[in-house]
Structure 1
Amino acid sequence: MRLLLGLVFALGLAAAPPAAAQSPLTLTPGTETASDGSPVRYEVGAITVPENRVKPDGKRITVGVLRIKATKPSNQPPIFLLVGGPGVTLLDTLGDASPRAKRRLRMWLDHAETNDLVIVEQRGYTLRGDMLELRYPAAPLDRPGRIEDEIAVTRKLAEGAAAANPGHDLAGYTIAECADDVDAVRRALGYDRISLTAASFGSQWAFAVLKRHPGTVARGLISLVEPLANGYDMPAHVFAVMQRVAFEAEQDPALKPFIPKGGLIAAARTVRDRFAAAPVTVEVPGTGKVVLGLGDYQRALFSHVVDASKWPAFVIDAYHGRYQAWAAEEVESRKASTAALIGPLIDTATGVTAARWAQLQADPALDMLGPWNFASYAATADAWPTADLGDAFRLPVRDETPILFVQGDWDANTPVENLVDVLPWFPNARALIVHRGQHNGRLLREHPDLDAATMRFLRDGTMPALPGRVDAAPVSFALPAATG
């Protein structure tokens, strides 16, 4: 990885340009209707910013911005909502008549009761600017997935990214630049300080804002925690989620009769050994044959535990050689697809420290899960146009900002160990662990009193007296396809 270039790049971005250098932020009013029929009055538009702040005289791009002004202004800092991804936008909510969009509008109104709510889109994936995408080719069905093949495909995409996006300086699409975009919006709107609410990649984005613009954040509500240095998850931490899910699934009365002798983890290992010995060919109706191998199984173990309710049934069916449903999913996953270009641009530039890389390579759960979470990006980081941001940017520093962390212990996308790593660096933080909490934005849905308390903190800074842990509702586990 380009550590020396990354250090130069990070130093070059050390200070955001002065307010006078910012182009105007243009917003236009509009109105939508929330799920309860309430009118949602908003302003939407875009800010123009440098595509690469290392080259301030270079091309300028637009990044979408939405603001809902407080219905009962309280002189408290505005709430900036940083969405996950990378490669997700919330501005597609406007004009969307679906119930989900209407519920989201209602949530935005709740946030904007006493504080302005501001949403900043991600550069390179903005409806008010450029939507940069990659086209992944179809993978063959007649041989198993291999990490070497994924690395080769990723490298080809990396080496062709600049040519496929002429007129763009792709070196500017980093999380550091995203953080500077947030600060540019803050200054353009005239806010001295802001509060942040963020989850998943949004949490990593929030850490970047805190790192690059100290003193500008009044407080933060951060969930699904992903520190800057933890972009590549440890397989052992994901495997620990599987162990927690397995323990509870084995006690479930409906599922208990189907649990293989020795338990779910032993069954998962048995299947792993089976595929390590040889691939399996499965006939998929309407498609033909698909070959499944060890790498496919490792990826499927992860993709199914993301929804914990489905993971035990997947393991049980695989243990009994019932591969049809999984094979059909694999057929879909091997089709050609598009993805946000900013995903690899941001992730490879953020990277990991040498120490974490050594841990990843020696992780004890690699035999079960493989290096699929990180290998293709790590192996091709030198080929992507964004430069490594360096350890000075990645590593946490002591930060006195009041932060309320909410994290689920069944979250396989951003494991709870991420919070354990970063919490000591925030002496004014509080943490709430949600048992059975998974990777979703409604961790406290069964605890409306606690949910309201977190919102009060976001609005006025009142740190609630929270328990250290609460339980989400028990999971209703799916049953396997047959008794076997």
Structure 2
Amino acid sequence: MPSPHPMRAFSLKSSWRCLSLCLSLAFPAGALAQHKPGEVIIERSAVELEPGTRVSYELGTLYVPENRRKPESRLIGVGFARIKAPRPTGAPPVFWLPGGPGLSVLGSLIDDDAAGKGRLRSWLTFGAVGDLVVLEQRGFTRRGEMLEASSDAMLLDRPGSAQVEAQAMRSLARRAIAENPGKDLSGYDITELAADVDALRRALGYQKVSLFGGSFGSQWSLAVMRLHPGIVARAVLSGVEPLNNGYDMPSDVFAALQRIAYDADRDPGLEPYRPAGGLMEAVRTLHRRFATGPVRVQVRDDAGGGQTVVLGAEDLQLALNSHTQEGEQWPAFILSLYHGHYEGWAREVIADRAAGKTKLIGPLIDSSLGVTAEREHLLRTDPATELLGTWNFEANIASAPDWPTRDVGDALRKPLPSAIPVVFVHGDWDTSTPIENTLGLLPYFPNGHAILVHRAGHDGAFYLLRGEPAAKEAVYEFLKTGKTAGLPHEVTLPVPRFALPSFTAPAAGETSSAGAPSP
């Protein structure tokens, strides 16, 4: 689900953060001219994961045309890593495709941070299957281009608007071209990313590969399966995003919120904060409150100064979209707003409206992939747009003609039957890529198997692989052999510990402290 805000990290598909650029991996001047399309350069090294435990790996650069449709296209570098299996298994290698778009992951091998080390530990478990190859995305890779452009600050003295965001996105597209001279931005679409997978497979000498991808990584995998079906042995996809579902159906997102609310309404810690009717009644109350007019919120800083921001009905819609990545945090956020505590929300909006840099790979891919006319009609007429608005798709659709990447066409977007065996893992608390994505795609995969994870969010597969040893072993056996015996159809996670609002609960019978909206 792409972010509608050009100043936000471009995508709500995942809460992962981009790793900082490591200058030691930058290309020396003129280096690309020395290489040929499809060539790889590999450096071998090792990292100490724990005292006394060293992990050997290969860090490489794949050289590919920036735009394969243009014979004279310049070469660009795309980073990858390979961790070879401790012993040969005879299975195809697993190609692990990151999400985003705009997630750089090679820092897991070279940076000293806890998040990277955690990801590296998860990568090592794939050794039970075979070799693991991690390929970064062209346009956002630490071994090549890190495409960005400047975004303007948005005004604080008026409410946010999806239409204003659409105009800002159109301006960003024009600025992206101006700020990246000599770069062919038309070469950064999902068909080129899929071709990069095939190019790396050939360069490393593999006949077939298995795919593992979550969120955009699943969409990228689906493009590989559509455009290069002969190279894919099997796949495991989580937080599934079909090629025609880059913009999520508002009703599907709202249904995930309702499932979160069901458990939150039974949480004793939240009981003193909940209105009669529960969490969804709080949502409806907020919707009615902001329909009467915006509110002005003053935010103080540590130096005694502060800023004032105006928040309106569409800002509330955006907040309902963007504060749902962690189901255990969402009820506290909604109940804080219900009781008139807007300060935390206002701080976030001020930060989001500030000028900054935007990663371009997201809008370049999403504007190219788009949706069919039929899906756009369903998005715009969906009844849940009343509560969630059109933030999820408005700016992307409006700015699509301004981005240089081509429209890939409905032939790629629409699902087709595929005999490739795929395990789909999806959480029913996923508000970034709703579970309906998997349910709608499954009939096209006669050799598919769905694992529905109740109470799992956007990283449902990772919940499953961390906390369900038997299921984890079965998924790895599937990747290794294609066997589906032992794979569950459903996994139920325990009710999480819901976060509480940061203020004292109001006394029984006390009404909300929210004041009337200001003009």
Same fold (TM over 0.5): yes
- Counterpart check, 1:357 vs 2:386: no
Query: Out of 138, 141, 150, which is 1:123 matched to?
Result: 138
> Residue 479 of structure 1 aligns to which amino acid in structure 2?
L
Question: Could you say which residue in structure 2 is the equivalent of 1:63?
Answer: 78
Shift of 1:477: 1.1
State how 1:440-455 maps to structure 2 within 5 Å: 440=459, 442-444=462-464, 445-455=466-476
Shift of 1:107: 2.1
Question: Could you say which residue in structure 2 is the equivalent of 1:378?
Answer: 397
Deviating more after overlay: 209-218 vs 322-331: 322-331
> Residue 462 of structure 2 aligns to which amino acid in structure 1?
R
> Residue 463 of structure 2 aligns to which amino acid in structure 1?
L
Shift of 1:234: 0.7
Distance across 1 between alignment mates of 2:71 and 2:309: 51
| TM score, norm. by length of structure 2 | 0.87
Question: Could you say which residue in structure 2 is the equivalent of 1:320?
Answer: 339
Query: Out of 505, 509, 513, which is 1:483 matched to?
Result: 505
DSSP-derived class of the 1:322 partner: coil
Query: Out of 420, 428, 451, which is 1:409 matched to?
Result: 428
State how 1:133-144 maps to structure 2 within 5 Å: 133-144=148-159
The question of whether the paired residues in 2 share the 8 Å contact of 1:73 and 1:114 is answered with no
Query: Out of 453, 460, 478, which is 1:434 matched to?
Result: 453
DSSP-derived class of the 2:110 partner: coil
Query: Out of 470, 479, 490, which is 1:458 matched to?
Result: 479
Distance across 2 between alignment mates of 1:189 and 1:130: 22
DSSP-derived class of the 1:252 partner: coil
Shift of 1:36: 6.9
Distance across 1 between alignment mates of 2:268 and 2:276: 16
DSSP-derived class of the 2:402 partner: coil
Distance across 2 between alignment mates of 1:323 and 1:151: 25
The question of whether the paired residues in 1 share the 8 Å contact of 2:79 and 2:142 is answered with yes
Shift of 1:267: 1.6
| TM score, norm. by length of structure 1 | 0.93
Shift of 1:261: 1.3
The question of whether the paired residues in 1 share the 8 Å contact of 2:364 and 2:405 is answered with yes
State how many pairs are aligned. Answer: 464
Distance across 2 between alignment mates of 1:240 and 1:126: 35
Shift of 1:224: 0.6
- Cα distance per residue 1:228-266 (max 9 Å; x no partner): 010000111111111111111111122123210122112
DSSP-derived class of the 2:154 partner: coil
- Counterpart check, 1:309 vs 2:331: no
Shift of 1:404: 0.7
Distance across 1 between alignment mates of 2:382 and 2:397: 15
Shift of 1:368: 0.3
> Residue 471 of structure 2 aligns to which amino acid in structure 1?
L
The question of whether the paired residues in 1 share the 8 Å contact of 2:274 and 2:335 is answered with yes
Query: Out of 275, 283, 294, which is 2:290 matched to?
Result: 275
State how 1:30-429 maps to structure 2 within 5 Å: 30-35=45-50, 37-286=52-301, 287-429=306-448
The question of whether the paired residues in 2 share the 8 Å contact of 1:220 and 1:403 is answered with yes
For the structure 1 residues 352 and 326, does the alpha-carbon distance in structure 2 shift closer, same or farther, using more than 3 Å as the test? same
The question of whether the paired residues in 2 share the 8 Å contact of 1:22 and 1:188 is answered with no
Deviating more after overlay: 202-211 vs 119-128: 119-128
DSSP-derived class of the 1:442 partner: helix
Distance across 2 between alignment mates of 1:113 and 1:477: 35
Question: Could you say which residue in structure 1 is the equivalent of 2:39?
Answer: 24
The question of whether the paired residues in 2 share the 8 Å contact of 1:72 and 1:114 is answered with no
- Counterpart check, 1:469 vs 2:490: yes
Deviating more after overlay: 29-38 vs 311-320: 29-38
The question of whether the paired residues in 2 share the 8 Å contact of 1:35 and 1:99 is answered with no
Identity %: 48
Shift of 1:49: 0.8
Distance across 1 between alignment mates of 2:489 and 2:383: 29
Distance across 2 between alignment mates of 1:114 and 1:310: 35
Shift of 1:33: 1.8
For the structure 1 residues 354 and 320, does the alpha-carbon distance in structure 2 shift closer, same or farther, using more than 3 Å as the test? same
Query: Where does the alignment leave 5 or more consecutive residues of structure 1 unmatched?
Result: 1-20
> Residue 250 of structure 1 aligns to which amino acid in structure 2?
D
- Cα distance per residue 1:272-329 (max 9 Å; x no partner): 1211220000111122211111111111112222211122122222222221221122
Query: Where does the alignment leave 5 or more consecutive residues of structure 2 unmatched?
Result: 1-35, 507-519
Distance across 1 between alignment mates of 2:412 and 2:367: 13
